[in-house]
Amino acid sequence: MKTILKRIFVSVIAIYACSLLVSGLSFDNNIKTLLLAGAVFSLLNLILRPVLKLVMLPINFITLGTISWIIGVFMLYLTTYLVSGFTVSAFEFGGFSSNGFRVPNASLNVFWTVTLCSFIISWLSRIVMWLFEN
pLDDT at 15: 96
pLDDT reported for residue 63: 86
How many CA atoms lie less than 13 Å away from 82 in the CB half-sphere?
Answer: 16
Note the maximum CA span of the chain: 50
Question: What does the alpha-carbon distance between residue 69 and residue 75 come to, in Å, rounded to a whole number?
Answer: 10
**So what's the pLDDT on residue 69?**
87
Whole-prediction pTM: 0.88
Q: How confident is the model at residue 98, as a pLDDT?
A: 85
Helix (H) or strand (E) holding 11: helix 2-21
Cα separations (Å) of 18 from 80, 95, 108?
14, 17, 15
Per residue of the chain (134 residues), give pLDDT as tens. 788 899 999 999 999 999 999 988 999 888 999 999 999 999 999 999 989 888 988 888 888 888 888 999 999 999 999 999 999 999 888 888 888 888 888 898 999 999 999 999 999 999 999 998 86
Structure confidence at residue 94 (pLDDT): 82
- Residue 106 is predicted with a pLDDT of 85
Residues 6 or more apart whose CB falls under 8 angstroms from that of 24 comprise 88, 89, 90, 91, 108, 110, 113, 117
